[in-house]
Structure formats: C-alpha cells, structure tokens
Structure 1
C-alpha cells in the first residue's frame, strides 16, 4: 500500500529536497504541495531541476483536502508551524522540519525563540526526531519534531560519549562550519554572492545560537545533570554541508571505540578508522553522516569530526527516515542514494 503525503512549504530548500528524495520512494506518493507566495505555480517553474517529475501544483494550505493524506511534512518557517499544525486534523501524522516542537520546555522555547509557544499541548505530544536515538518513540508518534541540522551533527559526535561518561562533561567545545542553504531560501542581504563568497564568518557566537537549546536539553538528559557545551558556528561559501570539529577531554582510543561500537549497526552513521578524517564532499546530497576521531598532542584529549548534509541527513532525509518509521515502511526506503561527487 502506498502512503499519500503532503509537503507544506514545498517552495523552500527543505521542501524541494523532500520532493527530490521522495521521487524514488517506493512506498510514498506526493499527493499535495503547498506554498504561500508561489501558490498556483507548477513545481517545475519554481525548481527547474524537478521538471522531469509529474507533481501536483502548489496550493495554499487551506486549499488542500487532507482527508486522503496519511502524513504531512511541514517545511515551514519557525513560529508559523505551530499555528498550522494546531489547525490540521488530529488523525494526521506530522513530521515537522521547523524548530517549533524541538524543545520540550515551553520556557526554553520562549527563551531561545523570543516568543511564547502557542500550541503547548502539541509541544508536549511531540517526539524529538533524532532517529537513531528515538526509534521506538517515533514509530508510535503522531507528531515528530525534526532536529536542527547543527544540533544533529553535534549530537552524532557526542551522544555515545556522554552516555558512557568517557569524556569530561565540563570541557566540550564544538566548532562548526555550515553551508549557506542552512539559512533558508528567503532573500537576505548577508547571503548575497558578493557579501558571502570569498570569505567566511562566525554567527550567533558567544552562546547565542538557538540550537544550544537542543544541546542543553539532550545532553543534560543523557548525563542526568546539566551539560553546557561551548558552540560557535561559522558560515562557509558553499551550498551544502556541515562539518563539526568537537574538542573533548578523554582517551582518544576509547572515544573512537565508543563511537564505533555505538554506531556499528547504523546504516547511515559511518565511523572511520582511527586517524581518518571525513569531508563534506563525501556526503553531499546523501543521508549519511561520517565521523572521524584523532588524538591531540596534549595527552588525554581527542578531536571528533562529524560531517553531514544539512538538507538531507540534517533535515529532509531525517524527516523521511522518521516518516518511514511512522508509516511502518523500511527505515532506509528512498534514502540509499549515493553521495554526489565531485
């Protein structure tokens, strides 16, 4: 049986990525696509790279008939999704790609996003969508909150280490580089080619980045006590990809063995041999995350480097991975595309 899905916000980067991946999915059919300013347009006119597909026209959300829809992907802006989801049928399964349901504590949401949450009952219902660590909950969920792409990268590098207690929890530093598509498709002056190309810069530094709310929530729950990492992201003039360099205090060999053991049976998480380092070019356009571990010249320290594609494993690929579980489909369906190289 083929499941029918709707994609709300299909004119953005994550919406287009959902369409690209679902085009070869054997168990899912795209039944409806929504957009705001581009409603009424063909998807091929918005994204010419998808013109070979027979897709529904973009509609306003209130024009979609959800009676025949099994699952809805919400690729909408932050703060918009909570209002939209609250108005959708309660029988509809939902995978949200925004930040609206990632944080369990309403006070933490208000702290990081600057406004009160308007759908607290739904926030309590939502399951955090880091697939490899919440599989059972996701299978049974109606509403799944996709992670932030930066937050996912850092967590893949650190969760097993925190769970095992093999690193110093008070000495964790995440230095992260991200491609520009992570900032969305809306026009922004600082993302113009002349403003961005030829250089790089940090942003939301000094403990101000919103994904710190996810790190605080998830790492503290794992440790059973507050864990506060230091985190600085940087924007690189590349389209896709995230590279997180994570500095920890711990035995390098034990750090590597802990990650390799934790991810041994994970299809999408690849731990490289000790001393080998990953590159964003090796995961572009794919749902894979590569992780490398090296020692440091200062004894008792290790560096963990994790890479993933922010639009795929960090967002839309993760969303499909979760949807597969929610719909009772093979978890890897539609997601085994090889990375694009060069």
Structure 2
C-alpha cells in the first residue's frame, strides 16, 4: 500500500515517517509540505540523513490520488477539511490527525476551534478512530477522525468505568499534563525554552478544544448528557501525557475489583496495559511507543475512583494510533509496524 503524508514537517508527521519506515505493508510515496516544498526531507530533519531522501512535494490532489491508497493529514486544524472530500471522491482513504472531523456538530467545532466547519456530508462519513473501542466502525470507513492526544488518554482511562456503571457521570474531573511537543514545531512564546524550563503552568482554562471531543464521546458511551472539568498543564519535558481522572463511585468497590474489570475490558487489546494494585504508570514507561498504561485506585474513605492514564502524545496520541487505525481498516493485525518497545530511560 502506498501512503502520502500531508503536513510532512510537523512532529506527528515525522513520527508517521519513523513508524511507517518499518511497516511491512506500507510504503511512503510522497511527503507534502507547503512551507518547505522542494527541500529534501533530510535537510529539514537531519536525523533522517541517508534514511529518508526524497523531496517534499506541493499538495496536488489529482497527482497524489493517482499514486496513493491512503493519505495521512498531519496538518493544523482547519486544513484537512478542504482536501479530504477531493481525496474521498477519488477513492483514496483518509486518516486525519487534526480536529476537523472529530466533532459531530459543526456549531461546536466553530465555537471551540474558531474556524469554519467541514461539510456535514463528510462529518457524517467520519468515524472516530479510538482504536480499542470502535474497531468495527473503523473497518468499514474510508475517513478516520484520529482522536486528540488528551482525549485518547482520558477516554481509554474512563470508558471501562463508564460502561460498567461504576461512576457518577456528572462529576468527572480530569487533571491532564503534556510535554511541549504537543504544541507542535512552530515557534511561540509559550514553548520558548526560558518560559518552559523549570516551570509548570495551566493553560486554556475552560477553553481547550479537546473538551467537546471528550464530552461527545462520553455522552455516546454513557447515554447521558454530561459536562467535565478539564484542566491542562504544560510540563517541561518533550513527550508524554498523564491524565489523572477523578470521579465519584456509585457504590463501594475494592481497587482489586476495579482492576479486574479494566483488565477484562482490555484483554483483547495489546496496547493497553492495566497495572496491578498499588502500581501507577509514568510517562517514561510508554515513551516512543503505542502503549497506554493505566493505574487505578478506589478510595474507600472518599468514595472516589482515581484513574492514572499515560501515553506518548506523538505515538498513541497521534501517529501510532493513526497507523493502528490503518491496520484495522485493512484487516491487518493491530500491532503491525507498532511493536517497538518503549524507550527507557
């Protein structure tokens, strides 16, 4: 299968390149970058010298459609919605790593992203690509809305509790922290070294664009209208997300029993690792991998469930899950091309 990567010089794109380079069934046919078209990929990313030696292309829909079977969009939100329809009409599958097709409501997209929404015709075709939960829908789709990094960690941490009716849906608090690569490669004061180093700060309080995405999918799974408290923090590290989630338990339950339910929920999903009682994951333990590690604690004293969910934001939170979805779409083993071990230390 031949693939195109659009937005080829961002961090998610270079992770797609790293992972697809070892995928047995996929060849990268073209890498598209509007800002650096004509340059060689290894001049933009010298670590790819003598490995990826091809010029970056302009986005020509007709030309690319004749050469590839799938297009990965690793673009900022607001870009893919203008191109995805043209590729779909030409029979090319699309996996969008941006937020353009995640929200079912165009009004909500415009409210939270401050951009015009994609056409409803294509929003209705898109399948939300949370790989472990929507495998059947992903298999039948040509347009995958790859989940955001924070929603991936949060939803994988919450959905077993939701589906087993363990928690009160109306009082979910998510305290989430991300490394700086989540902000992308573009320069900004917020990610300037002197601003981030030896610093920890909350950002986008009550206004993060992943809030409606998380709420939308929790509503789908719970059948209940709900709102979450979601606070994001920037941590002075390169990669990783930790979502620490708090929710009131509906009834008293032992931690060991919660862990059993989670392990049962994810027993057929090799990228989810549920820790034993008293063990909690760290971001370093999933670094560079497609794993999501989950730790659990049911507090008898407060009647609250605490879930600690960690991922690498660029892999399970972006490129890795996109490739996992491609595997599902094609009936391949979900681990194909994704069996690399976490990098440690």
Same fold (TM over 0.5): yes
Q: Which residue of 2 aligns with 1:296?
A: 299
Q: Distance in 2 between matches of 1:28 and 1:13?
A: 20
Please say if residues 252 and 300 of structure 1, whose CA atoms lie closer than 8 Å, have aligned partners that are also in contact. Answer: no
CA distance, structure 1, for counterparts of residue 311 and residue 183 of structure 2: 16
Q: Are positions 1:235 and 2:234 aligned together?
A: yes
**Residue 295 of structure 1: CA displacement?**
3.5
**Would you say the 8 A contact 1:83–1:119 is kept in 2?**
no
Contact 1:252 1:302 in 2 (8 A): no
* TM-score w.r.t. length of structure 2: 0.95
Whole-Å Cα distance in 2 between the matches of residues 100 and 81 of structure 1?
Answer: 7
Aligned twin of 1:11:
9
Segments of 5+ residues of structure 2 without an aligned counterpart are none
DSSP-derived class of the 1:137 partner: helix
Please state whether the residue corresponding to 1:144 is helix, strand or coil. Answer: strand
Counterpart residue number, 1:315: 318
- The runs of at least 4 aligned residues of structure 1 exceeding 4 Å deviation read none
Q: Which runs of 5+ in 1 are unaligned?
A: none
Partner of 1:132: 132
Say yes or no: does 1:38 pair with 2:36.
yes
Say yes or no: does 1:218 pair with 2:217.
yes
Native 8 Å contact 1:293 1:302 kept in 2: yes
Cα deviation, 1:126-154, whole Å, max 9, x if unaligned, reads 00010111111111101000001001100
1:191-210 equivalences in 2 (<5 Å)? 191-205=191-205, 207-210=206-209
Q: CA deviation at 1:55?
A: 4.1
| SS of corresponding position for 1:302 | strand
Structure 1 residues 252, 9: CA separation in 2 closer, same or farther (over 3 Å shift)? Answer: farther
Residue correspondences, number: 339
Mapping of residues 8-87 of structure 1, within 5 Å: 8-62=6-60, 64-87=63-86
SS in 1 for 2:309: strand
CA distance in 1, matches of 2:270, 2:4: 27
With 117-126 and 140-149 compared, the bigger mean Cα shift is at 117-126
Following TM superposition, by how much is the alpha carbon of 1:252 offset from its aligned partner in structure 2, in angstroms?
4.6
Structure 1 position 89, deviation (Å): 4.8
User: Is the Cα contact below 8 Å between 1:9 and 1:36 reproduced in 2?
Assistant: yes
- Aligned Cα RMSD in Å? 1.4
